[in-house]
Structure formats: structure tokens, C-alpha cells
Structure 1
């Protein structure tokens, strides 16, 4: 495809190469991030993921060495050889990532696949070759993480996947190559190094992580440019920071979006919605959101209401709001083909819909019957779609749930030759398919922001790299299976390692019938999942917390209330993630990557850095082995202390999810409340554990963008544990009204005296802790 190097030249931060058969270039984005590019379709980048590329190349040198051209940055060595083979080393020459010198050699598959298929088996086939293929050498010590919410284990070594957004409602299993999202980014962890690769290509792409041959892994695509980013760093956190600097970070959401959310297909008519709302409050279950699925619409026409079911939607939503409920409504991309329906008429008049190859509006079938599809690849169509969000906001809707935006259709998938304007670069469905949901989310986000001036709450099923800037995501139509509960943990963890911090699953499972035990164990994970939504399918049994028995209701209430207590900690994690790219749910390997015991752990996770969660994922199980990494850990329920780097056996009856707190942690809590905003929180609860630690707590109005102008407060709590416990409280930034008092829960019982700013403080003794209240001012706590 390329041949030998004929010449090269340097222009600013780019090194251009002329080969015998093609051209390519290496671009130094910064000393750690290198772009490898060849204009096989477009002359320059045409990225939907990277919108504001910041260049900080620093100093670098270029020279010829041993038939290669060597580029040295401050941290990396990049060697470009014939056939555009590109190898990466650290600044000392240690091998990080090298192109494979040979062609692909898939292992032999013996027997006759067609005979298997006659009986109904699916016959696994080796992948065909692709227009673009980058083959990388395997050294044998690689662990692969990321690639979004693909099925399978946390470590993707030995798996192969396709990036082609796919709506497949059948039960998802480990052999699934495609789901709803295409996030072509992965992190490679080796014994002595770590790096990331982002393959920015929206065509159908392929990732074989050593499945077809243990000598190499590869990624490739059917069309588009050769365009990938090599991301170096000292640890996984560095890689995530650089990757999210490229594609964008999950923004700080409104705090109510982190509360519990109740959903079903579907809550209609309005009497059913009110019944659900009344039952939630009567059962003492904190809840902020009720979702409306497609049933609320008039004949499934987007941006409409069925007046027989919701005769006065503004009044209904206003009444729900008074009782503390926000309403989030589903919106699909398919627009009903119906003359006289304003959304259809306006879109047709302005040519906002995708067309067939002859220029006629393309028609397929979705929920409303014959439907047309907005061309989100054109700016005018996105602006129009953004303006339509005003219709929902005026009705009192607080957030928008984008579904069916792979796009899904009932009369077969959209053909490859469906045409899109693509902002002046006319193209077909092959290029737009994987970013269709991404562009829809972007339009939705911009519309809500424009007409509400609040941080938009958008949920999307389909996504591409960078969608995290605009939308939260969930893993799609799962099932009420124990296996799907188990699989949800690595799926969410890999989403987090792919830049998507604000993510979740349908708690309890969408299809099939849930059981009380399964919901009880699922809500224990949901408590620590950024998007915490119970959602189920039409014609399944009821799945609300009270739909089973008193024990199930009690367990749901227990963990939903725990979630509300932990909201300030979760909000801090979201604020921190907007700056660092770090997710909320974290695999243990993110913080302990040199511990070989954690690299394959699929059934535990960290909630931030301070809380370790080891859920029960099997039916009938009431105990489990828990691996605790280095340091000291405290059982959240019993306050027992354990040394790290060992496995402990934890009894976990149906109401207990094993939770451990890192030594020295300071965990902010809120008092009990039925919904965010029910009370004005004037007292922050500080749950403090023995040991050294430092914690920053963030506070703002919870909904606007004013924090970007400095309207926030930031507290720092620094704890030193020696002969006495010393906690220093500092206000790092004061731009928003703060708390009046701090309620301190110190998890130690052998306490004789408490001082704050040299004055004695009265404290009460509990079974495992002491409690006391101090003013929320700067100062020093001494506990003796």
C-alpha cells in the first residue's frame, strides 16, 4: 500500500512522508501524543470526536537512522520505516508498540462450518482483510482495556470486536462483536509500560486483540483515512487524561441527575405516572426522576403528546415537580411520514432528512410506521433538531432520552447508499452510521442548553468516541439474567476507561422477568453506578422496588438511601472527572496497575479511589472472596480493619453488599432526603476513617454553568494520624454560599478528647464511632 520511503519533510509539528505508492504524515500533538495519518479518503482529519485539538508539540528532532526516520520528542521515540510501519519506544529506547513485520496469519479452522449452520449453530469465521489494517506485534504480556461497553471480560486480550452500532435485542453474550456504541479506543498495559491507541475512523472498523493469532493484534476499517493516535504516559491515569483531552471529558451534570430514577416501558396514562410517584413517596424511597417511554407520544410522533393519555401535560409535570419529581422523556430519530405533522413538514421543506441515492427522502419503518430520518450530519438539521427541544422544555420536561439512534429500523437496516450531506462532504450511510447517535446527542445537548441555560441531561443508547461531552449512556437492552448482572460490571468499567464516566445499566434488567433476589443484588451495584435507573420492558412483570416482597423493598430502600447519603462524594467525583478524565467506577487496575492480582478482576470495582465495592453476582450466594489491594481497608458495615494485598472471605446475606473504605478516607455525606432540593443542606456530614489522607469537597448551585465563572466553593480536609488525629479544614475557594456546620463521624471508639481550634467539643459515643458538630469554618480538629 505504501512501499519504500522516497523522501520526507518537516513543517511545524508535522513530518510529511512520500512513499513509492502513497503519502503519510506523523504529527506531534504533544510529547506524549502522536498522530499517524494517511489521506486515503480526505486530505485532512475529519473528526467527529475531536473538536478542539490543542497542540503543544514541544521540541522534537528528526533524523534518518538505519533505513528509518526517527522522530524524538521529550518522552517518546517514533521510528517510521518503509510501508509506513511505525514503531514507538520510550525515550530510553524501550519497546512500547511496534508494527508487525509480516502479514496476518489466522489460525486454521478445521471442519465444515456450513454443516454447523444447517443445524442452527453460528459458525465463527476468520475476518476478511480490510482496506485499512494496522497490525501490531504482541509481546505476550499485554492486557487490553477499553473499547466501550463491549461484552466479555475486563481484559479484552483474546477477543475480537466490530465497531458498527447495532440494535440487537436478543440476549447479549460474550461472543457479541457489536453493540450500540462504537468507541475505537483501547489501553494496553504491559509489565513495564502503558499506552493507548485511538483509531479515529467512523466507518465499520475491526479490533482483533490477539484472537486470530497470538503473535499480533490489529485494528482496521472498510474505508476512510488511516488516522490513529498513539498516547503514551507513565500510568493509566495519564493515558485517560490525554485521551479525554483529545475527545472531551464528561461534564459536571446537574446534581439531581445523580439521584435514583424510575422507568418502564411505559408509564402511561398520566394516572399511572401519578400512581408510581405516589407509591414511591409512600414507600419512603428517595427518587428524583420518572421516565416516560414511547407511550406518551401521539401515535409515536416525536415532540408530541397523546392528549387521550396526557390531556394537560404541563399541569401533570408541574404537579410532579411540586412533589420533587423531574420527568425525562424518550425521543427517537424516526419522524413519522405524515403530511400535516409539523415536524415532518418542516423537515421535508428544508431537506433535513436523509435521502436515497436518487435524492428522494429515504423511508423505513419504526414505531410510528413509515418514518424518515433526520440528517444529523448537516448543521442546519442539527440546529432545527436543537430548536425542537424547546417544545419539550416548555412542557416541563427536564431531560431527553435518545433511543433507537443507531439508527434502528424495522424494514431492515438503512442501506449503505443512503445519502447524507455531511457538512458539504456528501457521503453515504457507511460513514455516518457510527456517528448518527453521536450527532443526535450533540444537537439535543445544544438545544437543551440554549433553551434552559442549565447543564443538559441527555441519555443516549448509540454513541461514538467523544459523545461523553454531550450525553450519559446506558448499556442498552439487557436482560433480567444473573449473567447480565455479572457482565454489567466489566462493561461499565470499560466504558469508564473509554472516557464515558456518566454511564449505567437498566437496573434489574430490561427484558425477561426479574426476581426479588436479582433486583436486590442489582440495586446494590446501581447504588454505585453514576446513572442509577431501574428500567424494564413492556409485558414483563412489574419491577419497581415494591413489586416483589417486603424484604426486596427494604433492600432497595436501604441502598437507594445510601446512594443519597453518598451524593456529595459522587458529585465530587464528577467534578474531579471534568478536570482529569477519571471515571466514577474504576477497575482496581486503574490505581494499582503494578499489582498483578488486579489486572483480571471483573467482579470488584472502586467507587472513586476511597470506596471498594465487591458485589454478589450469583444467585443464592451469601458470601464471597474479596481481594483488597495494598494499604489498609475498613469494612463499611462492621468497621473491621484488614491489611491489603490479601483475599478476605466476606459473609454477605441478601441485604449486604461488601463495601470497604480505604484507610485515611474522608467521605462526605448528606442527610436523608426524598429528592435533591427537598431540603437546603446546611450541614455536611464527614465520615472519617483513621489514617493519613486528604480530600477536596466541591459545592455549587447544582444546576447552572455559573461555576465556570467561579461561583463555587472548595473545601480541603487534610488528615494526619500519629499519636493524635489532626484534621485541618481549609477553604480553598469561596465563590458560593457554604455550609453552616460540619457533623463529624470519626470511626474510632477509643477517644478521650476532641478539640476544634483549641476549644473542647462535646461528642457522643456510638458502637464503632464518635460524633460531634462544629462550625463550617477553617480550623483544626484534634482527636485524642
Structure 2
């Protein structure tokens, strides 16, 4: 396609290469991030994922050899061959990633698939005619992670996927090639090397991770540019950081969004919500948010309220907020086609809706019946949609739930030739489909930010790479199946590796009927998911914590209260994630990639680096096989110390989720609350597992953007242990926020203590079971804990 290399020109951080048939560009973004580009459709990148990219100036050398052109950044060596074949080496000239130089050779498929279709089997179209295609060598030991929330297992080696945002309510299984999100990014782990590839192409794209042939893997697209980024890293954390350097980090949310959230299709009228509010408090279930599905609207018209179901929504939401409940309302993109409905009228007048190829407003059906679709690819339309958020914010809504934004439609999918503005370039549905939800989220974010000056809370079902800048996500319409509980863990972990650090699933399952055992086990996973929402579908059985029996209620209460205890730890992780790009919920392979035992672990995860969770995800199981990686781990419930790099069997009755804390950890805790902000917390509890470790705790106003101006506090705790004592140095490296803690409650998970001193003065302590409790004033100093000899 490209032909032989004819010439090359260095232009700043770009190397422009002239081939016989077309041009190629190697651009050095940083010494570890390289862009490979050729203009097949647009002369520029026209990226929806990458905004305000800072290109770091980098000295690089170019050397022309007989067979290739070599570029060296000091960290990477890139060799460019004829036909724009590109190989990547590390600085030691160890091969990381090479283009496959031969032709693709798919495995043989025997028989006539049309025959199986007679029985109802789904025909599979195997496409080999891609406009853009990059084929990479497989050397045998590669593992692949990322690609968003695709079904199946954590390691994607041997599977194939498509990036085409899809609303399919049938039970999601491993054979699903596409779901609601398109995140064309993956991480490759091979030998001692790690790298990532981000294929920034929002047309329909394809990823075959060694399924077609074990000699290669490929990514391809129907249209667009050849435009991918190679991201080098010493470890997987570096690669995630590099990817989010390109596409953006998950911003710090309001703290209340980390609380438990109760949802259902649907809670209405307002008397039903009052009943729910009463049940939550009477059953001692902490809760911060109630979600309203489509039935709160007037005839499913977005930005309206049904005044019969909610006779004074502004006062009603205000009263709920006084009692600690915030309301999150669903918004779909489909606008009801109805003259006199102001949203429709404004959109028609200003030509804000997508059209057919003849320029007529395109109409399909969703919940309100005939509906039209805002053209979010037009900045003017996004501004209009942003302005409409004021309607909801003025009513007292605290968050927006963007749904059906693949976009979904009932009268068949939107045709390929539906027309969009595409930022003035023009374009059809093939190009806009995968970024439609992403652009809707961006518009929603900007509107909420403008009208509240608070960190927006937006939940979305559909998105593209980079959506983490604007919204949290959930995995869509799952089912109340044990298999979907099991699958939720690798889905959430791969979402985290794909930059989406704030994610969750519908706890208990959306469709079908949940059982009490399934809900009891699912809440033990939801407790540690960043988005913690119980949600269920129309006409399914009740799924609230009290809907089954006392045992199920008690288990739900136990883990929801544990969640509230861990709120400061989760908030700290999100604060760190805004600079590192790392998620809250992480696969073990992220931090233990040198341990081959963790490559295929699908039923465990880390919360940060300090907490390991190994939930039971099979019906009837009361014993769990747990793998503990390198280090010493402490059983959260028994305080037993266990050396890692081995598997153990842990008794796991229905009310117990195996949880382990890494030795040397300091975990901040909050007291019990019915909702976040109920109490003015003056005392921070530090749950300490003696060893060598460091922890930084973060405190701000929990809702505004003042932290961007430095208005926050940092509390640093450095812990060291030797044979005689444990020392904890307390410092306050940043103190610009007016609120301060008065006291620290230090909980030492050890009985082996003879004396405690703080700043050289003896301190009283109290023994409680296997723990020692110490109360300190919240000042800088050194805490010394002497061991029994």
C-alpha cells in the first residue's frame, strides 16, 4: 500500500516520511509515547479522545540503514521499513513489538454457515477487507488486557472484539464482540516488557488478539486514518499513566458519589420514593442517592417532570436533600417528536437534530415514541444541551444518568447514511456512532459545571476513549445471573486499565430475578466498586436490601456500612488517580506483573495497593481458594498474618467476603454515617497494619473545584518497623483548607505492645481484642510503639 521509502524530513518532534504511494508520520509525543499516522481520511488527527495534548520536546536521532529508517528517543528505538512497517525496541534493543511482514492466514472454517442459520444460529460475518489494518507479530507469551468492558476473562489473548457501541439486552456472554462502549486501547504484557497501543479511530474497529492465527494479532477499521499510539512503560502502571496522559485522567468527584446508591426502573410517584426513603433509614442502610428512571418524566420527554407523579419536584427534592438523599435523574438523547414541546421546537428551529441524506430530520423510535436525535457532533448543539442542564439543576437534581446513548433505537439501528455536522466537516453515522455518547457526556459535564460550580456527577452507558474526563460508567443491562457476577470483576478491572477509574455494575443484576444468595454475594463486590449502585428492571422482583429476609438485610447492611467506613481511602485513591491515571479497582496483574500466577486471576482484585478482595462468585460455595501475591497479608476479619506467593483456602460463610490487608498499610476510616456529610468529622481513624509503609491522606471540601487552587490538606504518615518498635512519623506537607481534624484515632492491629510514646511523651492506650487503640491530637510528630520483648 505504501511502497518503498523515498525520503524523510525531520520537523520538530515529527518525522515526515515519503513513501512511493503515500506519506507517513512518526511523531514523538514523549520519549515513551510514539504516534504512527497516515492521512487516509483527514489530514489531521481529528481526535475525539485527545484534547489539549502537551507534546514534550524530546531529542531524538535518525539513522538510515539499508533496510530501515531508525529513530531513537533514548527510551525507545523505532525502525521503519518499506510499506510503513514499524517495529519498536527498548533502549537495550530488545524487541517489544513488530509488524507482521507476511499476509494474514485465517484458520479454516468448514461447512456452510447458512445451513446452521435455518435452526436459528446467528451467522457470523468474517471481514477481511478493512480500509485500515495493522498486523503485529505474536511471539508466544503475550497477554492482553484492557479494551474496556468486553465480556469474558481478564486476559483477552485468543479472543476477537469489535468497537461498535451496541445496546443488546440479551444476556451478555463471552461470544459478544461488542457492548455499549468503545475503548480501542489494550496493554500487552510479554516477558519482562510492557506496552500499550491506542488505536484512535472512532469508526467501527476490530481487534483480533491472536484468535485468527497464533502468529499474529491485528487491529483494523472500516474507515478513518491510520492513527495509533505506542505507549512504552517499565510496568503496567506506567502504561496506564501514559494512556491517560493522552486521553485524560478521571477527575476527583464529589465525595457523596462514593456512597451507596439505590435505583430501580422505576421509583414513582413521589409517595413511593418517600416509602423508599423511610425503608432505608428504618433498616439502618446508609444511602446517599436515589435514582429516577424514565417514568419521572412527562410522557418520556427529556428535561420535563410528570406533575401528577411529582406535584412539586423542586420542593420534593429539597426535602429529600435535607434528609441526606440526593436525586439522580435519567436523561436519554431521544427527543420526543411533538410540536409545542419546547426542546423539540428549539431543536427543529435551529436545525440541531441529525438528518437523513436528503437533509430531513431523521426520526426513529425510543421510549417517547417517534423521536429525533440531537447532533452532539456540533459544538453549537452541545452548548444548547449544556444549557438545558440548568432545568434539572434548578429543580435540585444532583446528578445526571445518560442512558440509551449508543444511540439506541427501537425501529432498527440508525442507518449508516444519517448525517451529522461533525464540527463543520460533515460526516455520517458510521463516523459519529461510537462517539455519540461521549459527546453527549461532554455537553452534560460542561452544563452541570457551569450551573453548579461543583464537580459534575454523570453516569453513562455508552462512551469512547477519553470519556473518563466527563463521566463515570456502568456496564449496562446485566442479568441477575451468577455468571454475570463472576464476569463483573474482569469487566471492571479492564475498564480501570482502560482509563475509566470510576466504574460499577448494577449490583444484584438488572434483568431477571435476583436471589437472596446472589444479592448477598454481589453486595460484597459492589462494596469495593467505585460506583456502588443497586439497580433492577421493570417487572423483576424487588431487590432492595430488605426485600428478602433478615439474613440478607444484615449482610447488605454489613457491607454497605463497610463501604462508608472506607470512604476516605476510596477518596484518597481517586485523588491520586487524578494525577496517575490509576483506577480504584485493579487486577492483581497491575502490581504483580512478574508473578505468572496472577495473569489469569478473574475472581480477585485489589483496591488500591493495600486491600485484596477475593469474593465468592459461585452459588453454594462456602470456601474460597485465595491467591496471595508476594508480601505478608493480614486477614481483615481474624488479623491472621499470612506469607504470600501461595494459594490458601479461606472459610467463607454467606456473610463473609475474604479481605486481606497488605502488611505496612495505613487505611483511613470514617465513623458510621447515614449519608456522607451527615457528621462533621473531627476525628480521623487510622487502621494500621504494622510494617514498613507510607500513606498520604487528602482532605478538601468534597464538592467544589477549590482544590484546583490548592485549597486542600495533606496528612503524611511514614511507618517503619524493626525488631523493637514501630515508628510513625506524622507530617502535614500541605495545609491550605480551613477544615482540620482535631484528633487521630490510631488502631494498631497487634497485641504485641509494651509502651507508646508520642513526641517523647508517654501515651495511654486501650486494648480491644487483637487491637490497640491510641488517641492523639492531630498535630505533627513521631509516634513510637514499643513491642513486647
Between 617-626 and 112-121, report the one with greater CA deviation: 112-121
* CA distance, structure 2, for counterparts of residue 780 and residue 57 of structure 1: 43
- Show the counterpart of 2:46: 46
* CA distance, structure 1, for counterparts of residue 613 and residue 109 of structure 2: 41
Does the 8 A contact of 1:749 with 1:766 survive in 2?
A: no
SS at match of 2:302: coil
SS at match of 2:597: coil
- Show the counterpart of 2:679: 679
* CA distance, structure 1, for counterparts of residue 248 and residue 303 of structure 2: 29
* CA distance, structure 2, for counterparts of residue 319 and residue 378 of structure 1: 38
- Show the counterpart of 1:202: 202
Cα drift, residue 125 of structure 1: 5.0
Does the 8 A contact of 1:126 with 1:212 survive in 2?
A: no
Between 478-487 and 6-15, report the one with greater CA deviation: 6-15
Which residues in structure 2 correspond to 1:472-551 (within 5 Å)? Answer: 472-551=472-551
- Show the counterpart of 1:564: 564
Cα drift, residue 20 of structure 1: 1.4
- 1:622 paired to 2:626: no
- 1:127 paired to 2:127: yes
Q: Which ranges in structure 2 are unaligned for 5 or more consecutive residues? A: none
SS at match of 1:139: coil
- Show the counterpart of 1:706: 706
* CA distance, structure 1, for counterparts of residue 521 and residue 265 of structure 2: 22
* CA distance, structure 2, for counterparts of residue 652 and residue 130 of structure 1: 50
* CA distance, structure 2, for counterparts of residue 441 and residue 33 of structure 1: 27
Q: Residue deviations 1:54-86, cap 9 Å, x none?
A: 111410011211321111111011111111101
* CA distance, structure 2, for counterparts of residue 547 and residue 260 of structure 1: 17
TM superposition score normalised by structure 2? 0.99
Q: Residue deviations 1:740-766, cap 9 Å, x none?
A: 000111001121211111222211111
Which residues in structure 2 correspond to 1:769-784 (within 5 Å)? Answer: 769-784=771-786
* CA distance, structure 1, for counterparts of residue 142 and residue 417 of structure 2: 39
- Show the counterpart of 2:101: 101
Between 720-729 and 471-480, report the one with greater CA deviation: 720-729
Cα drift, residue 379 of structure 1: 0.5
- 1:211 paired to 2:183: no
* CA distance, structure 2, for counterparts of residue 526 and residue 64 of structure 1: 55
* CA distance, structure 2, for counterparts of residue 126 and residue 212 of structure 1: 10
Which residues in structure 2 correspond to 1:277-676 (within 5 Å)? Answer: 277-676=277-676
Cα drift, residue 23 of structure 1: 1.2
* CA distance, structure 1, for counterparts of residue 193 and residue 720 of structure 2: 33
Cα drift, residue 449 of structure 1: 0.1
* CA distance, structure 1, for counterparts of residue 726 and residue 513 of structure 2: 51
Does the 8 A contact of 1:241 with 1:581 survive in 2?
A: yes
- Show the counterpart of 1:764: 766
Residues 361 and 126 (structure 1 numbering): CA distance in 2 closer, same or farther, change over 3 Å? closer
For 1:750, which of 737, 749, 752 is the aligned residue? 752
* CA distance, structure 2, for counterparts of residue 53 and residue 475 of structure 1: 28
Cα drift, residue 779 of structure 1: 0.6
* CA distance, structure 2, for counterparts of residue 122 and residue 402 of structure 1: 31
* CA distance, structure 2, for counterparts of residue 772 and residue 25 of structure 1: 62
- Show the counterpart of 1:77: 77
* CA distance, structure 1, for counterparts of residue 665 and residue 518 of structure 2: 31
- Show the counterpart of 1:35: 35
Q: Residue deviations 1:395-425, cap 9 Å, x none?
A: 0000000000000000011110011101111
* CA distance, structure 1, for counterparts of residue 270 and residue 125 of structure 2: 50
* CA distance, structure 2, for counterparts of residue 608 and residue 92 of structure 1: 32
Q: Residue deviations 1:430-454, cap 9 Å, x none?
A: 0000000000000000000000000
Cα drift, residue 212 of structure 1: 0.5
- Show the counterpart of 1:17: 17
- Show the counterpart of 1:735: 736
Does the 8 A contact of 1:333 with 1:373 survive in 2?
A: yes
- Show the counterpart of 1:256: 256
* CA distance, structure 1, for counterparts of residue 725 and residue 586 of structure 2: 33
Cα drift, residue 122 of structure 1: 2.8
SS at match of 2:320: helix
Cα drift, residue 121 of structure 1: 2.0
Q: Where does structure 1 differ by over 6 angstroms across 4 or more consecutive aligned residues?
A: none
Does the 8 A contact of 1:260 with 1:560 survive in 2?
A: yes
* CA distance, structure 2, for counterparts of residue 57 and residue 596 of structure 1: 37
Between 184-193 and 745-754, report the one with greater CA deviation: 745-754
* CA distance, structure 2, for counterparts of residue 121 and residue 19 of structure 1: 46
Cα drift, residue 124 of structure 1: 4.5
Between 194-203 and 106-115, report the one with greater CA deviation: 106-115
Which residues in structure 2 correspond to 1:264-275 (within 5 Å)? Answer: 264-275=264-275
- 1:240 paired to 2:247: no
Q: Residue deviations 1:35-65, cap 9 Å, x none?
A: 0000000001100000011111410011211
* CA distance, structure 2, for counterparts of residue 29 and residue 131 of structure 1: 26
Between 117-126 and 287-296, report the one with greater CA deviation: 117-126
TM superposition score normalised by structure 1? 0.99
Which residues in structure 2 correspond to 1:114-153 (within 5 Å)? Answer: 114-153=114-153
Q: Which ranges in structure 1 are unaligned for 5 or more consecutive residues? A: none
SS at match of 1:485: helix
* CA distance, structure 2, for counterparts of residue 738 and residue 242 of structure 1: 35
Does the 8 A contact of 1:206 with 1:221 survive in 2?
A: yes
Between 366-375 and 746-755, report the one with greater CA deviation: 746-755
SS at match of 2:423: helix
SS at match of 1:423: coil
* CA distance, structure 2, for counterparts of residue 636 and residue 654 of structure 1: 16
- Show the counterpart of 2:727: 726
Cα drift, residue 127 of structure 1: 3.3
Cα drift, residue 123 of structure 1: 4.4
- Show the counterpart of 1:177: 177
Cα drift, residue 351 of structure 1: 0.9
